[in-house]
Amino acid sequence: MSESIAPARPVALETQDMTTGYGEVNILHGVSTRVHEGEMVAIIGPNGAGKSTLLRAIFGLLPAREGTVHLHGDNVTGQRPDALVPKGLGYVPQVDNVFPSLTIMENLEMGAFVRRNGLAERADQVFRLFPDLAGRRGEVAGRLSGGQRQMLALARALMLDPSVLLLDEPSASLSPKMVGMIFERIKEINDGGTAILLVEQNAREALSVCHRAYVLAMGENRLEGAAQDLLDSEEVGRLYLGA
């Protein structure tokens, strides 16, 4: 869990000088981030810093006004999700991240929509990671608890075995116990080789599992560094960790 191994690996996802926003207002003013292969990177910062907006812009849900996104060296700026997903990028939104009236199995099928074969085998692999869901595959997702829904949302995004996964506040509105469990699973996913870029309000928890982190404020890069260094840093503690 140190920085030293990460930069040696090739860059999986790189955002340069991202500027975007809604309507007339720019929310991001030239944000740059980088995720290496197999690395887990957190984006933390106060409310309204533009953390979720950055993920939406990377995933083509919001047009980039300036700046570029590169996935494994290819320029994918402005590409739509149905072009990005087959290239190995996955995204889990913060809320409404399951199909409530579809069964758990159907939710996973939707996650693998762009691939037609090998569905059952991949589902079995994913269920091994989330054993809670395995016994309930015929159940409707709307009946799941908040934590189980979050598991299902992760499972859906894993169906195509993405090389980079974007997670928007995976711990939002979960009980403290569930937060710990979700982060354990995210760690397992990362150990399996998937690079992760995650946005978190819950900064302390995020920093304790991630390799590196960026601190965003007012739509700009404020700080970056190894997660442990940021945890130890007085400034970060004072400003963002409430210590």
Partner 1 sequence: MATIEAQPIPRSEQWRDYRRAAGAWLIGPGLWIIIGAFMVWAVFAERDAFVVGVVAGSIFALGALGLTLIYGVLKFGHFAHGDMMMLSGYLAFLFLSGFIVGEKPGDQLTILPVTVNDLPGADDPIWKFSFGYGLWVAMILAGAAMAVILVGLDRFVYRRLRVRKSGIVIFSIAALGIAIATRATILFFWGPSPRLYYPGIRERVDLPFDVSLLADQLFILATALVATAVVYWLLFYTRLGKAMRAMSDNPDLARVSGINTDRIILQTWIVAGALIAVAGVLLSLQVQLDPELGFILLLPLFASAILGGLGNPVGALVGGLIVGITQEVAVTLDLPLLGDVSAGYKFSVAFLILILILLVRPNGLFGAKV
Q: How far is the CB of 76 from partner 1 (least distance, A)?
A: 14
| Number of neighbours of residue 188 by Cβ within 10 angstroms | 12
- Does the protein bind partner 1 through residue 97 (CB under 8 A)? yes
- Span interacting with partner 1, options 44-52, 89-97, 130-138, 215-223, rule CB under 8 A: 89-97
Selected range binding partner 1 among 16-24, 31-39, 77-85, 235-243, rule: CB under 8 A: 77-85
Q: Which residue lies nearer to partner 1 by CB, 35 or 157?
A: 157
Judged by CB under 8 A, the stretch of 14-22, 86-94, 169-177, 202-210 that binds partner 1 is: 86-94
Q: Is 80 exposed, middle or buried (0-12, 13-18, 19+ CB in 10 A)?
A: exposed
3-class SS at 117? coil
How do beta strands 212-217 and 220-226 pair? antiparallel
Q: Residue 210, class by beta-carbon neighbours within 10 Å (0-12 exposed, 13-18 middle, 19+ buried)?
A: buried
State the sign of the Cα–Cα–Cα–Cα dihedral 55, 60, 62, 68: positive
13 scored as a contact of partner 1 (CB under 8 A): no
Q: Under the rule (CB under 8 A), what is the footprint of partner 1?
A: 59, 61, 80-82, 84-86, 91, 93, 96-102, 106, 109-111, 113-114, 116, 140, 142-143, 156, 160
